[in-house]
Amino acid sequence: MKIRQDIAERLQAGVPQIHICRQLHVAPLTVQRTREAMGLPAPTTRPFLPTTLEAAFRQYTQPTENGHVEWTGPVNNGSPKVVFAGRVHYARRIAFRLHRGRDPIGRVTVAASCEVKDCVAGPCVEDQRIRATNKWADKAFAAIFGEVTA
Ligand SMILES: [Zn+2]
């Protein structure tokens, strides 16, 4: 089979088959035969859809310069969310799990110290256990050093 250079170049660059068909006005079978003749692997199914929950989450995250992560995806009742595999997942819970390596307990909220709207940076999200620990630490601090008034 004679390999068309324009198809080969696009395949090598990772251009999806459907785009090659549109750009060069060739049939999908022509692109497929070219790919096979070049010994390239078959394309993964639905390359534009994230294949993991983490990838689905990351497509909407925008790290800021000072360590926070802005959410660019959908928000439902004040909670950033992402749909993956037909289910709604709350972005703060995903951020928590990725950062802490465990499932959150209770509601996940943004720490009071973070001022970025809908921040989903791992260190900025807290579950019930962390809030309780912080409260205990504040009380212990106050008991030792006296109440601190800001
Ligand atoms: Zn933050």
Q: Ligand 1 centroid vs 27 CA: distance in angstroms? A: 49
| 119 pLDDT higher than 80 | yes
Q: DSSP strand E in 1-150: where?
A: 61-63, 69-71, 75-76, 79-84, 87-90, 109-110, 125-126
| 98 pLDDT higher than 90 | yes
| 4 pLDDT higher than 90 | yes
pLDDT digits (tens, 9 = 90+) for 60-81: 999 999 999 999 999 988 899 9
Q: Ligand 1 centroid vs 61 CA: distance in angstroms? A: 12
DSSP letter at 122 equals G
Q: Ligand 1 centroid vs 120 CA: distance in angstroms? A: 6
Q: At 130, is the secondary structure helix, strand, or coil? A: helix
CA-CA-CA-CA torsion sign (131, 136, 137, 142): positive
Provide mean pLDDT across the span 105-126: 94
Exposure string over 97-118, b if 16+ CB within 10 A, otherwise e: beebeeebeeebbbeeebebeb
The structure's pTM equals: 0.63
Q: Ligand 1 centroid vs 60 CA: distance in angstroms? A: 15
The confidence score (pLDDT) of residue 34 equals 94
Q: Ligand 1 centroid vs 54 CA: distance in angstroms? A: 18
The confidence score (pLDDT) of residue 14 equals 83
| 132 pLDDT higher than 80 | yes
Structure tokens at 34: 């070219």
Q: Ligand 1 centroid vs 116 CA: distance in angstroms? A: 5
| 19 pLDDT higher than 60 | yes
Could you tell me how far CA 146 lies from the centroid of its own chain?
Answer: 43
Q: What percent of the chain has pLDDT over 90?
A: 66
